[in-house]
């Protein structure tokens, strides 16, 4: 029997927990490292599931007028693919990284609320299970939700979606939302209240900073979704009228409320990814991040602005040019702080000494792919362009460039970077390079051509399409790319499995990095810093320790 003692320095509480080694101890664990790993594993599982849903969709779309799946099934596939990737993959992956890393990076022993941490994870998993249970419901009233991941009304109302799928969708998201909110509250409290002495807010590692800003955003906008879901459920189950135009309700109200949540949600899916890049690029360039204050400040600007752009999802609704203009201007404005980041990351590399580890390669891939996605986003801010390209495959291309080319690439970068810390072993760089290049080719093959399909008039969310010139070849190409992408994920899984068993021992700091998580063992001990936290006098504590003659403080003074 192994006793896992929760450190007693958490506000005078002591709850030593006797736990068996093995699986069961994980279920009862409130250790942020274990909860973090569970977040990552759970989300990766859903990533595979969501990816399979996508592959099924791409098979259906490989040729025109295909009969691989019925339209009812296809519509469930794309609804569940979107819902899964947003709520059960990207957000939990980022939260998982935050949960694991934030206490370590600020020199704390755990999150502010360890039990809330565990609860948040399990509630989110419960929500995911409930959502997927809908697939198992059969009969006339059965099936998964099929109204799209943003479930526009009145299509999502009982009259037009009579299966229980949308109810499962709403209830699942409510549960998942509770988990996400709990995690966010925990992250804010941890980052604000548990920092090691010397670690002022201005010295926070950028990953922590961006996660912190992100957590505030979650606290503000998750309840907006909850309100929308609750109103939809009341409409459906209690025969109310919020979103039923035929009875005086408003279909537009749903869109406003959903996107008031939905747009900040996409920033919630990218800000911590920005944080990962901000950690990885400096380390593998051998120099500090360029323009720390500007990268940090631009994050806050993005968070604020993200609350003011939601109706750029509604340019086609016909709300009037003045209305459209306001949101267009705000949407263009948000491109500026994002651009500032791209320039700062690039400038970080200049006069550095670049090490092309797999982690760095994914970070570089991110820079280019996310720039493409961000620029196509600027195209959408141009209202007349949006009038043509929204709801077409051009927007499908855009979202995948920012969410896959952006967030997923950053996540892969983070995995290759922090896997040694988490497991004590290095991932294979050989397999990593294969993984990276297969991903780059597969991803671009799948999605670049979709920009063209959109311009040729192919709408989104169609289970099939007519044999218009070029559509068949382009769709087939996209499908081939998707399978290549799936294969690349397989390589990644093989890398994980092999390296966990026989990977090279990592040591405390295999990358020569500078933030506090590298000042302890790999993996860290239960209480994180058994030998104490190094002194913090700057943004790179380990750099300062290794170079006492030219600490960051001194260098900054010299630079003036």
Partner 1 sequence: MPDKNKLGVGLFILSEANFFLILLVAYVYFHLQPGQGPSAANSLHPLRMLAFSLCLFLSSATVYLAGRSFKRGRGNVWLWLALTVVLGALFLFGQSREYVGLFAHGVTVSSNLFGTTFFTLTGFHGLHVLVGLCALATLLGVALTGRLGCIKPAGFEAISMYWHFVDAVWVVIFAVVYLWPLIARMTA
Partner 2 sequence: MPGPYSANAFTLAPASPQAAAISRLFVGTLIFLGVVLALVTLLVLYAIIRYRDRPGAPEPRQNFGSRRLETIWTVVPILLLIVLTAFMAYAMHTGDPAAAVDDPDLRIVAHQWWWEIYYPKSGVIAANEIHIPVGHSLSVELRSADVIHDFWVPQLARKIDIVPGHPNYLRLQADHPGTYLGACAEFCGTEHAWMRFQVIAQPPDKFAEWLRAQKAAPAAPTSPEAIQGAQIFADRTCANCHRVSHTVASASIGPDLTHVAGRRMLAAGALENTPANLGAWLHDPDEFKPGSHMPNLQLSKNDLNALVAYLETLK
Q: Which residue, 272 or 377, is less far from partner 1 as judged by CB?
A: 272
Residue among 407, 298, 522, 519 at smallest CA distance from 289: 298
Phi, psi of 413 (to 5 degrees): -55, -45
Spatial contact of 366 and 338, defined as CB atoms under 8 Å apart = no
Q: Which of residues 211-270 bind partner 1 (CB under 8 A)?
A: 219-224, 226-228, 230-231, 234-235, 238-242, 247-250, 253, 257, 260
The footprint of partner 1 on this chain (CB under 8 A) covers a number of residues equal to: 40
Q: Which of residues 285-344 bind partner 1 (CB under 8 A)?
A: none
Q: How far is the CB of 31 from partner 1 (least distance, A)?
A: 18
Q: How far is the CB of 520 from partner 2 (least distance, A)?
A: 25
Does residue number 30 form part of the binding site for partner 1 (CB under 8 A)?
Answer: no
Q: Which of residues 73-102 bind partner 1 (CB under 8 A)?
A: none
Residue 191 CA, distance from chain mean position: 19
Q: Which residue, 332 or 484, is less far from partner 2 as judged by CB?
A: 332
In the list partner 1, partner 2, none, the entry touching 18 (Cβ below 5 to 8 angstroms by class) is: none
Q: What is the CA radius of gyration of the chain?
A: 24
Site string for partner 1, 112-151 (x = CB under 8 A): xx--x-----------------------------------
Buried b (16+ CB within 10 A) or exposed e, 473-495: ebbbbbbebbbbbbebbebbeeb
Rounded to whole angstroms, the Cα distance separating 283 from 355 reads 9
**For the packed helices 165-193 and 114-136, what is the interaxial angle rounded to 10 degrees?**
160
Does residue number 351 form part of the binding site for partner 1 (CB under 8 A)?
Answer: no
Q: With CB under 8 A as the contact rule, which of the stretches 71-79, 184-192, 278-286, 460-468 interacts with partner 1?
A: 184-192
Q: How far is the CB of 61 from partner 2 (least distance, A)?
A: 10
Rounded to whole angstroms, the Cα distance separating 32 from 13 reads 17
Does residue number 56 form part of the binding site for partner 1 (CB under 8 A)?
Answer: no
Rounded to whole angstroms, the Cα distance separating 202 from 295 reads 12
Rounded to whole angstroms, the Cα distance separating 442 from 487 reads 9
Residue from 9, 27, 193, 468 touching partner 1 (CB under 8 A): that is: 193
Q: How far is the CB of 285 from partner 2 (least distance, A)?
A: 6
**For residue 385, what are its two tokens?**
């362009």
Rounded to whole angstroms, the Cα distance separating 17 from 29 reads 9
Rounded to whole angstroms, the Cα distance separating 260 from 202 reads 30
In the list partner 2, partner 1, none, the entry touching 501 (Cβ below 5 to 8 angstroms by class) is: none
- Chain residues that interact with partner 1, rule: CB under 8 A: 11, 112-113, 116, 181, 184-186, 188-190, 192-195, 219-224, 226-228, 230-231, 234-235, 238-242, 247-250, 253, 257, 260
């Amino acid at each position: 029997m192994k006793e896992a003692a929760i450190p007693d320095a958490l506000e005078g509480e002591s709850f030593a927990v006797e736990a068996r080694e093995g699986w069961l101890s994980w279920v009862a664990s409130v250790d942020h490292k274990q909860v973090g790993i569970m977040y990552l594993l759970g989300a990766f599982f859903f990533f595979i599931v969501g990816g399979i849903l996508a592959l099924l969709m791409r098979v259906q779309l490989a040729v025109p007028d295909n009969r691989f799946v019925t339209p009812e099934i296809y519509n469930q596939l794309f609804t569940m693919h979107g819902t899964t990737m947003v709520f059960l993959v990207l957000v939990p992956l980022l939260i998982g990284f935050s949960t694991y890393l934030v206490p370590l990076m600020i020199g704390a022993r755990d999150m502010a609320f360890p039990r809330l941490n565990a609860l948040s994870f399990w509630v989110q998993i419960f929500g995911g299970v409930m959502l997927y249970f809908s697939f198992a419901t059969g009969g006339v009233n059965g099936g998964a939700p099929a109204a799209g991941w943003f479930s526009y009304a009145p299509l999502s109302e009982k009259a037009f979606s009579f299966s229980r799928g949308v109810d499962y969708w709403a209830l699942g998201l409510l549960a998942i939302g509770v988990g996400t909110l709990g995690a966010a509250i925990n992250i804010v409290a941890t980052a604000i209240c548990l920092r090691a002495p010397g670690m002022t807010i201005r010295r926070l590692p950028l990953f922590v900073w961006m996660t912190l800003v992100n957590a505030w955003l979650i606290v503000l906008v998750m309840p907006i979704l909850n309100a929308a879901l609750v109103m939809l459920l009341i409409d459906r189950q209690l025969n109310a009228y919020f979103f039923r135009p035929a009875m005086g309700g408003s279909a537009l109200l749903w869109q406003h409320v959903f996107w008031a949540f939905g747009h900040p949600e996409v920033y919630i899916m990218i800000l911590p990814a920005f944080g990962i890049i901000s950690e990885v690029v400096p380390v593998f360039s051998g120099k500090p991040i360029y323009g720390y204050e500007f990268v940090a400040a631009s994050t806050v600007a993005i968070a604020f602005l993200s609350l003011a752009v939601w109706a750029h999802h509604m340019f086609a609704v016909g709300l009037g040019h003045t209305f459209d203009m306001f949101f267009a201007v705000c949407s263009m404005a948000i491109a500026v702080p994002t651009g500032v980041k791209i320039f700062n990351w690039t400038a970080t590399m200049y006069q550095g000494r670049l090490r092309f580890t797999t982690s760095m390669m994914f970070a570089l891939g991110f820079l280019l792919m996310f720039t493409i996605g961000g620029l196509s986003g600027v195209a959408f801010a141009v209202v007349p362009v949006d009038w043509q390209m929204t709801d077409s495959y051009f927007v499908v291309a855009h979202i995948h460039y920012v969410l896959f080319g952006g967030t997923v690439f950053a996540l892969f970068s983070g995995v290759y970077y922090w896997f040694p810390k988490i497991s004590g072993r290095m991932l294979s760089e050989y397999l990593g390079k294969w993984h990276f290049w297969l991903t780059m080719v597969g991803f671009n093959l799948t999605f670049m051509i979709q920009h063209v399909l959109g311009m040729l008039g192919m709408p989104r969310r169609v289970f099939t399409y007519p044999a218009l010139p070029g559509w068949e070849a382009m769709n087939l190409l996209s499908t081939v790319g998707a399978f290549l992408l799936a294969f690349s994920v397989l390589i990644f899984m093989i890398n994980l499995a092999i390296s966990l068993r026989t990977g090279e021992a990592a040591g405390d700091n295999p990358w020569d990095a500078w933030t506090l998580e590298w000042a302890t063992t790999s993996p860290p001990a239960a209480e994180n810093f058994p030998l104490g936290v190094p002194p913090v006098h700057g943004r790179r504590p380990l750099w300062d320790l290794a170079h006492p003659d030219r600490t960051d403080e001194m260098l900054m003074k010299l630079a003036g």
